[in-house]
Amino acid sequence: MASTMFSLASVTPSASISLQDNLKPKLKLGTSSQRAFPRKDFMKAKSNGRTTMAVAVNVSRFEGITMAPPDPILGVSEAFKADTNELKLNLGVGAYRTEDLQPYVLNVVKKAENLILERGENKEYLPIEGLAAFNKVTAELLFGKDNPVLQQQRVATIQGLSGTGSLRIAAALIERYFPGSKILISSPTWGNHKNIFNDARVPWSEYRYYDPKTVGLDFAGMIEDIKAAPEGSFILLHGCAHNPTGIDPTPEQWEKIADVIQEKNHIPFFDVAYQGFASGSLDEDASSVRMFAARGMELLVAQSYSKNLGLYGERIGAINVLCSSADAATRVKSQLKRLARPMYSNPPIHGAKIVANVVGTPELFSEWKEEMEMMAGRIKSVRQKLYDSLSAKDKSGKDWSFILKQIGMFSFTGLNKAQSENMADKWHVYMTKDGRISLAGLSAAKCEYLADAIIDSYYNVS
């Protein structure tokens, strides 16, 4: 431990106090409540007939670590909690809420948990790749139970720590076995994507996606940028319900995207965080992935069950790698496990058993689909009501129909940073600074209030 020694000769009380005051700003003490010179830091010594006192001041080895900026999404919730206004709305974090704006635990999840208790199942470690029953049903859910790629055993699947952890494992695979390869991500994209690839040391660039003029998809720009990427790049695609815009390609556009990716020998990498939660249909929301797979393309898919099963805190997801052969899939899976081992050793068991019970039990599976349709339906209804409220209140004739064209739990409002800050400062409506709102946190009763806030911010703040 580094230390600094100060020698204080015997002086008058007043001079001693003055000297201590002068030294205080220079001393780095553990807490603000410590005295300037803690008793344990004093050492007495004789020097030329005078008594001196030496002070050892500890200097932290972590002095060079700076304060990290707050997370742009989670920081919104912190600001919301600190607000005492009764009108406040948290439209930042993408977590489903009831019409009363309360967290919702799916009934089917409760039943699946009861099954675990009734069976008296233990809490032993899972294998590195996770729960076998989970891996089986999650791949079937994604690709379709009868998909030839599963029958041919061409998919390597391991359980991951929700979507984020699954993406991170895949990023490590890219960094280790495709050194120097670039990944293209949409502009804009989910805020954590860049963090994940930065930390994995995978170089990235952006492809155009959002067109602010139309508040829609810049399809021409997207295609042009994917074509211009170095051959063999990884292309990160949102399987459905693009975050943050809620803007998805049409089926015809997906086909053209696949054409360009195949022409350039790129590798598609899907992030599927909302299967079944976007449209209410598990099959429809997986159609983009299945279309690419049907073309014989090798690809990666990260999955999450945070949204569609409401298992936010269980951190349950998976990374799937579709290979051209069963032999390649076996080798890829072995390396996915090797990467996971030093990161977290093995994944948690509880959420995996919930998913395995829900998807693997016909009665629970049917009930889950009904609950997903209910949740997706509530979001669609508030999306419609917000559009109706904006259209009725805005007398300028502005077309707000882009809100209805978007899908999933988010809506990209088109508000800029200053306008988004006005939403919070004046209206107590908390959202990300890029103009994204989570409709999952909106109730029908609050739609008119939100419309007033959006109109005021859009027209009165530049």
456 belongs to the catalytic site:
no
The enclosing H or E element of 337 equals helix 326-344
Q: Output the six-digit token pair for 307.
A: 């949204």
Task: Answer for the pair 288, 318: CB distance below 8 angstroms, yes or no.
Answer: no
The DSSP line for 180-239 is: T--EEEEES--HHHHHHHHHTT--EEEEE-EETTTTEE-HHHHHHHHHHSPTT-EEEEES
Query: How many Å apart are CA 89 and CA 129, to the nearest integer?
Result: 40
Query: How many Å apart are CA 304 and CA 138, to the nearest integer?
Result: 10
Q: Mapped to the 3 state alphabet, what secondary structure does 371-401 carry?
A: HHHHHHHHHHHHHHHHHHHHHHHCCCCCCCC
Query: How many Å apart are CA 71 and CA 93, to the nearest integer?
Result: 11
Instruction: Kindly give the pairing relationship between strand 210-211 and strand 216-217.
Output: antiparallel
190 belongs to the catalytic site:
yes
Residue 181 to residues 177, 231, 232, 274, 287: CA-CA distances in angstroms? 9, 9, 7, 27, 27
Task: Answer for the pair 88, 429: CB distance below 8 angstroms, yes or no.
Answer: yes
Query: What phi and psi values does residue 101 have, to the nearest 5 degrees?
Result: 60, 40
Q: Which residues contact 233 (CB under 8 A, 6 or more apart)?
A: 181, 182, 183, 184, 264, 266, 267
Query: What phi and psi values does residue 385 have, to the nearest 5 degrees?
Result: -70, -35
Residue 398 corresponds to which amino acid? K
Q: How many CB atoms lie within 10 A of CB 446?
A: 21
Query: What phi and psi values does residue 58 have, to the nearest 5 degrees?
Result: -70, 135
The enclosing H or E element of 148 equals helix 148-151
Query: Under DSSP, is residue 156 helix (H, G, I), strand (E, B) or coil?
Result: strand
Name the β-bridge partners of 155: 322
Q: Which residues contact 405 (CB under 8 A, 6 or more apart)?
A: 216, 247
User: Which of 307, 333, 353, 433 is an active site residue?
Assistant: 307
User: Which of 41, 225, 248, 271 is an active site residue?
Assistant: 271
Query: How many Å apart are CA 383 and CA 392, to the nearest integer?
Result: 14
426 belongs to the catalytic site:
no
User: Which of 41, 190, 218, 446 is an active site residue?
Assistant: 190
Name the residues annotated as catalytic.
Answer: 190, 271, 307
